[in-house]
């Protein structure tokens, strides 16, 4: 009987281990849930409290994983985090922060007849840094990310996750979504910036995007090589409910050369920034 009980216990242990080992890859295929982080350099290794755990996805077998909440799309609550716009005249937020994304991407420019570059939009991947708020690495993320991205031989924004993990800026980057430009959906002309989490953190939520309008634009306090800091709000007449306000702060790079020769090819300039989204319905 003892032997039988012991054997059963051993079998149960093996089954639990098997289940644990088998569970991760299965869960990782579900879009809103990130691969469980691994290694001590993980983004979540020292995650502070306040992790969002409301959704029915908190089935991680060990304490080391921080599942991304399927409802909120971000791993740690950020509503009490403070947006630091000191050194600028950007307005204070009217809503609580809901997402903090490290943006890694490119600013595109075309050379006008006057011999100066004008913006033709931007494309960036936004990575969830909600669990890094308050950690020592948080305030330098945009710089460490820029150093890695700017020295990468690739200019493809699709390569940015690999760039961040290779340089150990974020060991296991979790993509919130993409930032890009679309034709202004209200007027049908001109470009409007869009933040779109419908393919990543909030896959399956058709309203998980915001199209915005720029309200305020100030020079980066860090210098003329860095793109401006911005304050935007959701554009009247658009349907996405991802955010009410968007801040682009802590920029690195992205500015074009001061002059160009008319007729030369468009250019792409790498940049990083911290995007803070407030309000919204997620
Ligand atoms: C910016 O340029 C890159 C490289 O040419 C291109 O892949 C991307 O689609 C462009 N994005 C925009 C918004 O023009
Ligand atoms: C980024 O890299 C380019 C070379 O690809 C270099 O010319 C430029 O100075 C770098 N930018 C910064 C801000 O380090
Ligand atoms: C922004 O979105 C909120 C809902 O999230 C909506 O109530 C508000 O009217 C929108 N603002 C504008 C300017 O469209």
Q: Write out the chain's pLDDT in tens, 282 residues.
A: 333 333 333 333 333 333 333 333 333 333 333 333 333 333 433 333 334 433 323 222 222 234 444 445 678 999 999 999 998 999 999 999 999 999 999 999 999 999 999 999 999 999 999 999 999 899 999 999 999 999 999 999 999 999 999 999 998 999 999 999 999 999 999 999 999 999 999 999 999 999 999 999 999 999 999 999 999 999 999 999 999 999 999 999 999 999 999 999 999 999 999 999 999 999
State which ligand 3 atom lies nearest to the alpha carbon of 236.
14
**For residue 180, which atom of ligand 1 is closest to its CA?**
13
To test the pocket of ligand 2, the residue of 107, 143, 150 to mutate (highest count of ligand atoms within 8 Å of its CB) is 150
* Ligand 3 midpoint to CA 100 (Å): 20
Three-class SS of the chain: CHHHHHHHHHHHHHHHHHHHHHHHHHHHCCCCCCCCCCCCCCCCCCCCCCECCCCCCCCCCCCCCCCCCCCCCCCECCCCCCCCCCCCCCCCCCCCEEEEEEEEEEEEEEECCCCCEEEEEEEEEEEECHHHCCCCCHHHHHHHHHHHHHHCCCCCHHHHHHHHHHCCCCCCCCEEEEEEEEECCCCCCCEEEEEECCCCCCCCCCCCEEEEEEEEEECCCCCCCECCEEEEEECCCCCCCCCCEEEEEEEEEECCCCCCCCCCCCEEEEEEEEEEEECCCC
Q: Are 211 and 193 in contact (CB under 8 A)?
A: yes
Closest CA to 280 of 50, 51, 33, 71: 71
**Secondary structure (3-state) at 133:** coil
The answer for 273, left when phi > 0, alpha when psi is -120 to 50, beta otherwise, is beta
Q: To which H or E segment does residue 195 belong? A: strand 191-196
Whether the CB of 281 sits within 6 Å of ligand 3: yes
Can you give the pLDDT at residue 211?
A: 98
The residue whose two tokens read 């993509």 is: 175
pLDDT of 109-121, one tens digit each?
999 999 999 999 9
> Nearest to residue 233, comparing CAs of 177, 277, 182, 189?
277
62 lines ligand 3 (CB under 6 A): no
Q: Which ligand is nearest to the CA of 252?
A: 2
Q: Whose CA is nearest to atom 13 of ligand 2?
A: 253
Strands 175-183 and 209-218: unpaired
Contact between residue 216 and residue 235 where contact means Cβ atoms under 8 Å apart: no
Phi/psi of residue 261, each to 5°?
-100, 120
The predicted pLDDT at position 14 comes to 36
Strands (E), 83-149: 97-111, 117-128
Ligand 3 atom with minimal separation from the 237 CA = 14
Question: Which atom of ligand 1 lies nearest, measured to the CA of 108?
Answer: 1
Identify the CA nearest to 65 among candidates 88, 43, 32, 86. 43
Give me ligand 2 centre to Cα 149, in Å. Answer: 10
């Amino acid at each position: 009987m003892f032997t039988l009980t012991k054997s059963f216990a051993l079998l149960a242990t093996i089954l639990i281990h098997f289940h644990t080992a088998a569970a991760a890859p299965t869960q990782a295929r579900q879009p809103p849930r990130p691969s469980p982080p691994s290694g001590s350099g993980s983004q979540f290794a020292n995650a502070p409290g306040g992790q969002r755990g409301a959704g029915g996805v908190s089935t991680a077998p060990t304490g080391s994983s921080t599942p991304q909440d399927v409802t909120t799309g971000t791993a740690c609550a950020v509503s009490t985090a403070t947006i630091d716009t000191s050194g600028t005249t950007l307005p204070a937020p009217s809503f609580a922060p809901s997402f903090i994304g490290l943006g890694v991407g490119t600013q595109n420019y075309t050379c006008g007849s006057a011999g100066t570059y004008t913006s033709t939009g931007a494309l960036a991947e936004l990575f969830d840094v909600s669990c890094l708020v308050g950690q020592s690495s948080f305030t330098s993320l945009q710089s460490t990310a820029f150093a890695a991205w700017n020295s990468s031989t690739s200019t493809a924004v699709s390569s940015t996750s690999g760039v961040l993990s290779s340089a150990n800026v974020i060991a296991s980057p979790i993509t919130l979504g993409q930032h890009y430009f679309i034709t202004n959906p209200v007027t049908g002309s001109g470009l409007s910036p869009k933040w779109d989490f419908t393919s990543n953190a909030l896959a399956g939520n058709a309203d998980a995007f915001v199209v915005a309008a720029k309200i305020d634009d100030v020079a980066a306090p860090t210098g003329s090589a860095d793109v401006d800091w911005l304050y935007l709000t959701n554009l009247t007449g658009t349907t996405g409910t991802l955010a009410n306000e968007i801040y682009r702060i802590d920029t690195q790079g992205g500015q074009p050369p001061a002059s160009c020769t008319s007729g030369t090819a468009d250019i792409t300039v790498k940049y990083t920034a911290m995007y803070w989204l407030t309000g919204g319905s997620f």
